[in-house]
Amino acid sequence: MTHWRKQQQQDQFFRRAKDEGYRARSAYKLLQIQNKFHIIKRGDVVVDLGAAPGSWSQAVKKLVGHQGRIIALDIQAMEPIPGVLCLQGDMTMPEIQAQIIEASGGQVNIVLSDAAPSTTGIKLRDHVLSIELGYAALAVAKCLLRPGGNLVIKVFNGEDLPALIHEVKLAFHPVKLHKPEASRKESWEQFIVAQGYKGGSGVRN
Protein backbone atom coordinates (compact mmCIF):
# COMPACT_ATOMS: atom_id res chain seq x y z
CA MET A 1 0.00 0.00 0.00
CA THR A 2 1.36 3.44 -0.94
CA HIS A 3 2.04 6.04 1.75
CA TRP A 4 -0.58 8.34 0.17
CA ARG A 5 -3.25 5.61 0.19
CA LYS A 6 -2.47 4.70 3.79
CA GLN A 7 -2.77 8.36 4.82
CA GLN A 8 -6.08 8.61 2.98
CA GLN A 9 -7.52 5.58 4.73
CA GLN A 10 -6.46 6.99 8.09
CA ASP A 11 -7.99 10.42 7.33
CA GLN A 12 -11.11 10.90 9.48
CA PHE A 13 -12.87 13.00 6.84
CA PHE A 14 -12.12 10.48 4.11
CA ARG A 15 -13.63 7.74 6.28
CA ARG A 16 -16.65 9.86 7.18
CA ALA A 17 -17.28 10.65 3.51
CA LYS A 18 -17.37 6.94 2.70
CA ASP A 19 -19.65 6.22 5.66
CA GLU A 20 -22.02 9.13 5.00
CA GLY A 21 -22.24 8.73 1.22
CA TYR A 22 -20.36 11.82 0.08
CA ARG A 23 -18.31 11.52 -3.09
CA ALA A 24 -15.30 13.31 -1.58
CA ARG A 25 -14.01 14.49 1.80
CA SER A 26 -14.29 18.09 0.56
CA ALA A 27 -17.97 18.06 1.59
CA TYR A 28 -16.83 18.67 5.16
CA LYS A 29 -14.94 21.81 4.17
CA LEU A 30 -18.20 23.34 2.98
CA LEU A 31 -20.15 22.04 5.98
CA GLN A 32 -17.57 23.57 8.34
CA ILE A 33 -17.77 26.89 6.46
CA GLN A 34 -21.55 26.68 6.78
CA ASN A 35 -21.36 25.99 10.52
CA LYS A 36 -19.15 29.04 11.04
CA PHE A 37 -20.71 31.57 8.65
CA HIS A 38 -24.31 30.30 8.04
CA ILE A 39 -24.18 31.23 4.37
CA ILE A 40 -26.84 28.78 3.08
CA LYS A 41 -30.50 28.66 4.11
CA ARG A 42 -33.45 26.38 3.40
CA GLY A 43 -34.98 27.16 0.02
CA ASP A 44 -31.90 28.94 -1.40
CA VAL A 45 -30.94 28.83 -5.07
CA VAL A 46 -27.27 27.83 -5.26
CA VAL A 47 -24.73 27.70 -8.10
CA ASP A 48 -21.83 25.29 -7.49
CA LEU A 49 -18.83 26.01 -9.74
CA GLY A 50 -16.03 23.48 -10.16
CA ALA A 51 -18.47 20.99 -8.74
CA ALA A 52 -17.01 17.60 -9.75
CA PRO A 53 -17.19 15.02 -8.33
CA GLY A 54 -20.23 16.56 -6.63
CA SER A 55 -19.66 16.41 -2.86
CA TRP A 56 -20.41 20.11 -2.32
CA SER A 57 -23.67 19.79 -4.25
CA GLN A 58 -24.57 16.74 -2.15
CA ALA A 59 -24.00 18.76 1.03
CA VAL A 60 -25.90 21.77 -0.33
CA LYS A 61 -28.87 19.57 -1.22
CA LYS A 62 -29.29 18.66 2.45
CA LEU A 63 -28.98 22.30 3.49
CA VAL A 64 -31.46 23.86 1.04
CA GLY A 65 -34.07 21.08 1.24
CA HIS A 66 -36.74 20.28 -1.32
CA GLN A 67 -37.65 23.93 -1.88
CA GLY A 68 -34.08 24.87 -2.88
CA ARG A 69 -32.44 24.62 -6.29
CA ILE A 70 -28.86 23.68 -7.17
CA ILE A 71 -27.02 24.16 -10.45
CA ALA A 72 -23.67 22.37 -10.55
CA LEU A 73 -21.08 23.17 -13.21
CA ASP A 74 -17.74 21.58 -13.99
CA ILE A 75 -15.47 21.33 -17.01
CA GLN A 76 -15.58 17.55 -16.49
CA ALA A 77 -18.65 15.36 -16.84
CA MET A 78 -20.31 14.51 -13.51
CA GLU A 79 -22.38 11.57 -12.40
CA PRO A 80 -25.97 12.78 -11.88
CA ILE A 81 -27.07 13.83 -8.40
CA PRO A 82 -30.78 13.60 -7.56
CA GLY A 83 -32.29 17.06 -7.31
CA VAL A 84 -29.25 18.80 -8.83
CA LEU A 85 -29.03 20.20 -12.37
CA CYS A 86 -25.55 19.26 -13.63
CA LEU A 87 -23.98 21.26 -16.48
CA GLN A 88 -20.66 20.68 -18.21
CA GLY A 89 -18.47 23.52 -19.43
CA ASP A 90 -15.85 26.17 -18.68
CA MET A 91 -17.23 28.81 -16.31
CA THR A 92 -15.02 31.48 -17.89
CA MET A 93 -16.82 31.15 -21.26
CA PRO A 94 -19.68 33.66 -21.82
CA GLU A 95 -21.91 31.03 -23.42
CA ILE A 96 -21.57 28.81 -20.37
CA GLN A 97 -22.32 31.74 -18.07
CA ALA A 98 -25.45 32.37 -20.16
CA GLN A 99 -26.50 28.73 -19.64
CA ILE A 100 -26.15 29.13 -15.88
CA ILE A 101 -28.23 32.31 -15.94
CA GLU A 102 -30.93 30.58 -17.97
CA ALA A 103 -30.89 27.48 -15.75
CA SER A 104 -31.12 29.54 -12.56
CA GLY A 105 -34.30 31.23 -13.73
CA GLY A 106 -33.14 34.55 -12.31
CA GLN A 107 -31.00 35.73 -9.45
CA VAL A 108 -29.50 33.23 -7.01
CA ASN A 109 -28.70 33.36 -3.30
CA ILE A 110 -25.28 31.69 -3.24
CA VAL A 111 -22.38 31.10 -5.63
CA LEU A 112 -19.84 28.50 -4.51
CA SER A 113 -16.53 27.80 -6.25
CA ASP A 114 -14.41 24.84 -5.24
CA ALA A 115 -12.71 25.07 -8.64
CA ALA A 116 -8.98 24.41 -8.78
CA PRO A 117 -6.54 24.26 -11.69
CA SER A 118 -4.84 21.07 -12.78
CA THR A 119 -1.80 21.45 -10.57
CA THR A 120 1.65 21.39 -12.14
CA GLY A 121 3.75 21.28 -8.97
CA ILE A 122 5.12 24.71 -9.87
CA LYS A 123 3.75 26.65 -6.93
CA LEU A 124 3.71 30.12 -8.49
CA ARG A 125 2.02 28.89 -11.67
CA ASP A 126 -0.59 26.95 -9.73
CA HIS A 127 -1.27 30.00 -7.56
CA VAL A 128 -1.73 32.29 -10.57
CA LEU A 129 -4.10 29.83 -12.24
CA SER A 130 -6.08 29.51 -9.01
CA ILE A 131 -6.40 33.29 -8.72
CA GLU A 132 -7.62 33.46 -12.33
CA LEU A 133 -10.36 30.98 -11.46
CA GLY A 134 -11.18 33.12 -8.44
CA TYR A 135 -11.70 36.18 -10.61
CA ALA A 136 -13.87 34.10 -12.95
CA ALA A 137 -16.01 32.95 -10.03
CA LEU A 138 -16.36 36.55 -8.85
CA ALA A 139 -17.47 37.61 -12.35
CA VAL A 140 -20.10 34.85 -12.45
CA ALA A 141 -21.30 35.84 -8.98
CA LYS A 142 -21.76 39.45 -10.05
CA CYS A 143 -23.95 38.26 -12.93
CA LEU A 144 -26.09 35.94 -10.83
CA LEU A 145 -26.35 37.03 -7.21
CA ARG A 146 -29.24 38.97 -5.80
CA PRO A 147 -28.39 41.81 -3.38
CA GLY A 148 -27.41 40.33 -0.03
CA GLY A 149 -26.23 37.09 -1.62
CA ASN A 150 -23.12 35.16 -0.62
CA LEU A 151 -20.00 33.84 -2.35
CA VAL A 152 -17.37 31.25 -1.41
CA ILE A 153 -14.19 30.90 -3.50
CA LYS A 154 -11.39 28.39 -3.01
CA VAL A 155 -7.95 29.89 -3.71
CA PHE A 156 -4.31 28.88 -3.39
CA ASN A 157 -2.42 31.22 -1.09
CA GLY A 158 0.21 33.49 -2.64
CA GLU A 159 1.22 37.02 -3.55
CA ASP A 160 -1.77 37.75 -5.82
CA LEU A 161 -4.38 36.80 -3.23
CA PRO A 162 -4.66 40.25 -1.52
CA ALA A 163 -5.60 41.88 -4.85
CA LEU A 164 -8.41 39.36 -5.38
CA ILE A 165 -9.66 39.86 -1.83
CA HIS A 166 -9.68 43.62 -2.46
CA GLU A 167 -11.87 43.13 -5.55
CA VAL A 168 -14.24 40.90 -3.59
CA LYS A 169 -14.49 43.53 -0.84
CA LEU A 170 -15.64 46.12 -3.39
CA ALA A 171 -18.75 44.02 -3.98
CA PHE A 172 -19.35 42.29 -0.62
CA HIS A 173 -19.31 43.00 3.09
CA PRO A 174 -18.20 41.30 5.27
CA VAL A 175 -15.39 39.29 3.63
CA LYS A 176 -13.29 36.74 5.53
CA LEU A 177 -10.42 34.42 4.62
CA HIS A 178 -10.91 31.00 6.22
CA LYS A 179 -9.25 27.59 6.26
CA PRO A 180 -11.59 24.90 7.60
CA GLU A 181 -10.38 22.04 9.78
CA ALA A 182 -11.11 19.56 6.98
CA SER A 183 -8.44 21.17 4.79
CA ARG A 184 -5.25 19.19 5.16
CA LYS A 185 -2.58 20.95 7.21
CA GLU A 186 -0.09 20.81 4.34
CA SER A 187 -2.61 22.27 1.88
CA TRP A 188 -2.15 25.91 0.84
CA GLU A 189 -5.82 26.27 -0.09
CA GLN A 190 -7.96 28.88 1.65
CA PHE A 191 -11.53 30.02 1.17
CA ILE A 192 -12.77 33.55 0.62
CA VAL A 193 -16.14 33.76 2.37
CA ALA A 194 -17.98 36.85 1.11
CA GLN A 195 -21.40 37.84 2.41
CA GLY A 196 -23.85 40.64 1.73
CA TYR A 197 -23.48 41.24 -2.02
CA LYS A 198 -23.94 44.96 -2.68
CA GLY A 199 -25.77 44.42 -5.94
CA GLY A 200 -23.09 45.76 -8.25
CA SER A 201 -22.94 49.11 -6.53
CA GLY A 202 -19.14 48.89 -6.22
CA VAL A 203 -19.25 50.91 -3.02
CA ARG A 204 -16.01 50.61 -1.09
CA ASN A 205 -16.04 49.30 2.47
Active site residues: 154
What 118-127 contacts at long range (C-beta under 8 Å, 24+ apart), as own/partner pairs, is: 123/158, 123/188, 124/158, 126/156, 127/156, 127/157, 127/158, 127/159, 127/160, 127/161
One-letter amino acid identity for 37? F
Question: 145-156 and 189-194: which strand pairing?
Answer: antiparallel
> In angstroms, rounded to a whole number, what is the distance separating the alpha carbons of residues 173 and 146?
14
Which residues lie across from 192 on neighbouring strands? 153, 177
Q: How far apart are CA 111 and CA 93, in angstroms?
A: 17
Distance CA 151, CA 197 (A): 8
